[in-house]
Each structure stands twice: as C-alpha cells, then as structure tokens.
Amino acid sequence: MLTAVFATPAFAAGDTGPKVADFKLPNGLELVVIPDHRAPVVTHMIWYKVGAADEVAGHSGLAHFLEHLMFKGTAKHPAGEFSQVVAHMGGQENAFTTSDYTGYFQRVPSRDLKTVMEFEADRMTGLQLTDQVVLPEREVILEEQNQRVGNNPRARLSEQIEAALYLNSPYGRPVIGWRHEMEQLTRDDAIGFYRRFYGPNNAVVVVAGDVTPEAALKLAEASYGTVAPRASIPPRQRPQEPKPIAARSLTLADPRVETPVLQRDYLVPSFHTAKPGQSEALEVLAHILGTGSNSRLYQALVVNEKLAVAAGAWYESSALDDSKFGVYGSPRDGVTLPRLEASIDAVIAAVADKGVTAEELERTKTRLIADAVYAHDNQASMARWYGSALTTGATVSDVEQWPDRIRKVTAADVQAAAREWLDKKRSVTGYLIKDTSPQAERRS
C-alpha cells in the first residue's frame, strides 16, 4: 500500500519548471518524480543516504568500494546481467559516491522504467559477493585512486587541505580512501556496510522524464515497495567540528608542479547547518568573489595587478554537516605565493569592510537564477539537483524555493557572510610548489 504524502506545487512563481511530485512508501522509501515529456526517455536514480562520512575510521574508501561492488550481481541476477540489460536498451548507467550519499542511475527509454526499477530494487538487498569479484575490483579502485589523486598534484593538495581543515568531522577523509586502508578492504567489510546502510528506508528514488507521477508511483510500489525496511539504519550523527581557533597552513612539494597553486578552504555552514539565508548569502558571495572573469578575485589578481593566471572561489552548499568555502589562485611567472596570498587577503578584506555593489549583486542573482532555468533543459541535471538536496538534509520545497531565496539576499547579507565566515582562523591555506630536491628530480 502506498501513501502519497504530498505532491508539491509548480516551481517557484515566475520560473518555468515542471510540477514535482514527492511520495513516501510505507517501507520508508522516498520517491520524487520530475515530469519532462519532451522525449520518450527517463532518468532513474536511486540515492542512498550513506557516504564516506558514514564509514568506520580505519576503513576509508569503503562506501565507494561498495558502490563498485554493487555491479557484481545478486542471487536473482548474476554479475553483468543488469548492465547487459541496460546496454540492450541503449541505456546509460553509472554511479557516484560523495561523503554524504551514494547514487546509481540509468537513463533509458521510458517504456523500460519498470525493468530498471526491478533490477535496482533487487540489488537493494540481494547483493552477493565472492572474493573472485571483490579482489580484482579492489585493484580497480586502487587504480582509480592513482588516476584521480596519485597522478594529479592538485588533487593531492586538496586532499591534504581537507584532512587538515576537518579536525573532528569524517569529511577530512578522502572519499576514495587512503591507499593503505583501501588495500585492506575485504568482502566482509563491504557486505557489512551494505547490510547496515542499504534499504528502502535509507533511499530516495528520483525519476525525471517521460512518466506521470501516478505511473511512476505504481511502478515503485510494485518493485521497491516489496522490500522490507532495514532495522539497522543508524541516525546520521557524525562527530562535529569544534570552534576553529587557529589558522593553519601547509605546503606540498611535488616534482611535477610546473605552475604553483594556492588554495585556501574555510569551514562554513552548509545549507543544512546554516541559519535561514546564510547559505544563500555564501552562494552569492562565492559568485561575486570568484566565479568568472567579472569576479573580484579575477579582476584584481589576473586583470589589474597581473599577479595570477587564474583566481577564483567556490562554495559547497550541499552537505549534511558543516561544509567548505574555497579560494584559489595560480601565480604568473616570478610572482611568489605569499605575494599572491597578500592580494587575495586584500580582496577578501575589501568585501568584508566595504561590501559589494548593487550591480554585482544584481548580476550575480540574474546568473544564479538563470542557471536554475537552464537546469530545466536537462532532465539528468534536474534529477541530480533534487537527489543531492534530499540526501543532504533539504526538502523538495527547499529546492523549489531556491531562486526566491537567492532573490532575497541583500548586499548587507553578503558583507556579513564575508565578515563572519572568511575568517582566517576558520581556514587552511595550502601551497603547491615544485619539489626541486635532487632526489625528486630523479626520473626512472
């Protein structure tokens, strides 16, 4: 039996957009349907509310390892069958893991929605693993670590900064894992994690595309609806950060670095942990400070002072716990990182002291709100938007009202955000430099 909890109204007034429906099945599974009838295709995603931050210390990389192993078959469907069926449809599939969620998706013709829901519901609790498939896959994730991090000095820098930024939160662990721990992950670790966290009462299914909410609900009822809830799913309470009191800095030297980089991350609230309006102000601040060539950092460092070849800022609003706000720059030849850092500090201080202009505020709002309209042009982006929000503590109406909340941000809000959050004591500053020691220059 299914109960429709609520069906939400159209997108926030003034914006175009589909009517998004939101249901909850008796077994706890949440279903979100975003109708888009332009083409006879659907994007079907399942998002589990579990990620790397839910791992037990010492088993880093386990959430992501399990994501890989979810493709290794069930009692009902042997390894490879699901992928073959999706390929037969001409469909696309993939999966992803972050600190807060693990997602799986298929993009298929709408007539095949029933089939992919059945397969996905089957592997929600039916996964079977043997060492024969687990051990080669562990080699695969180690190669993935090499490809994403080991071979990439900038990724190594980010990893070190995050580890230093989070004193207590598991967000300091890399999602891919630390190699020495990845090497020790076992089949039993993966199955244990799976049995603890994968179940209908810990999942959100998002369907975007050529299907009505009613039809999607019926299909979900017949597939996911038959899976019993897991009793074991723990509340999502991770260790929280203490009040930051010391500016930290680190330097990573790597012989492959040809262009030095400065990156600084600040500990700031996420949408979920922020007071109303704070997250939106940080969003606007990140844009004015460091998105695109009109931004303060680019104009000051790259265009006017000619100190840098790149400079910018970003903010991650989607996170269950306190998140991060980053600034970065890459100096021109002959400019030192401390010199660059001084200019970055000056740009940030100017926003904190004098605020932003009405023109900057207006331009940023236009751009951010337009991005929401552009997102409607792509059903997969819409599905990702809702899925990531709903697995990090937001609701469907939070997503729908996002443009309105951005509209309400004032210049005073942005200035207050810069003052309160872009405080060096909340941050880690990382330098990426070339390692020129004789040993480092040795090439095999």
Partner 1 sequence: MTRFLTFFAAAALAFVALTPAVDAMTIEKIMSPSGIPAWLVREDATPLVALNYAFHGGSSQDEADKAGTANLAADLLDEGAGDLDSTTFHKRLENHAIDMTFQVGRDYFHGSLRTLNDYRDEAFDLLGLALTKPRFDADAVERVRGQMMAMLRRETTNPNNLASRTWWRTAFPHHPYGRDAQGSLETVPHITASDLRDYVRRAFARNELTVSIVGDIDAKTAGELIDHAFAGLPAKNDIKPIAAATPQGMGRRIVINLDVPQAVVTFGGNGLERSDPDFMAGYIVNHILGGGSFSSRLYREVREKRGLAYGVSDSLVWFKRAAVVLGGTATRADRTADALDIIEKETKRMADQGPTPEELAAAKSYLKGAYALSLDSSSKIAAQLTQIQLDNLGMDYVQRRDKLIDAVTIDDAKRVAKRLYGGGMLVTVAGKPKGLESSGTPD
By beta-carbon proximity to partner 1, the closer residue of 38 and 243 is: 38
Which phi-psi region, left, alpha or beta, contains residue 14 (left: φ > 0; alpha: ψ -120 to 50)? left
Q: Which one of 10, 232, 371, 425 is in contact with partner 1 (CB under 8 A)?
A: 371
- Cα–Cα separations (whole angstroms), residue 381 to 117, 215, 217, 371: 20, 22, 21, 11
By beta-carbon proximity to partner 1, the closer residue of 126 and 255 is: 255
**Per-residue contact flags (x/-) with partner 1 for residues 116 to 145, judged by CB under 8 A:** -------------------xxxxxxxxxx-
Give backbone dihedrals phi and psi of 73, rounded to 5 degrees, phi first. 100, 160
By beta-carbon proximity to partner 1, the closer residue of 278 and 295 is: 295
Name residues contacting partner 1, limited to 48-87 (CB under 8 A): 64, 67-68, 71, 80, 83-84, 87
* Per-residue tokens: 350: 């100017």
Q: What are the b/e assignments for 110-122, b being 16+ CB within 10 Å?
A: bebbebbbbbbbb
Segment contacting partner 1 by CB under 8 A, of 25-33, 90-98, 120-128, 349-357: 90-98
- What does 142-176 look like in DSSP terms, one character per residue? HHHHIIIIIT-HHHHHHHHHHHHH-SSSGGGS-SS
State yes or no: residue 310 binds partner 1 (CB under 8 A): yes
State yes or no: residue 259 binds partner 1 (CB under 8 A): yes
Per DSSP, the three-state class of 180 is helix
State yes or no: residue 41 binds partner 1 (CB under 8 A): yes
Q: How many residues bind partner 1 (CB under 8 A)?
A: 79
* Residues designated as active site: 67
Nearest-angstrom CA–CA distance, 131 and 146: 22
Least distance (Å) from partner 1 to the CB of residue 444?
4
Nearest-angstrom CA–CA distance, 157 and 160: 5
By beta-carbon proximity to partner 1, the closer residue of 93 and 341 is: 93
Q: Which one of 379, 388, 415, 427 is in contact with partner 1 (CB under 8 A)?
A: 379
**Per-residue contact flags (x/-) with partner 1 for residues 382 to 421, judged by CB under 8 A:** ----------------------------------------
Name residues contacting partner 1, limited to 315-354 (CB under 8 A): 330, 332-333
Name residues contacting partner 1, limited to 191-250 (CB under 8 A): none
State yes or no: residue 258 binds partner 1 (CB under 8 A): yes
State yes or no: residue 443 binds partner 1 (CB under 8 A): yes
Residue whose C-alpha is closest to residue 282's, from 292, 267, 297, 294: 267
Q: What is the dihedral of CA 269, 405, 102, 377, to 10 degrees?
A: -150
Residues whose CB is less than 8 angstroms from the CB of residue 205 and which lie 6 or more positions away in sequence, other chains included: 29, 30, 31, 32, 44, 45, 46, 47, 117, 120, 220, 224
Name residues contacting partner 1, limited to 143-162 (CB under 8 A): 143-144, 146-148, 150-151
Least distance (Å) from partner 1 to the CB of residue 229?
27
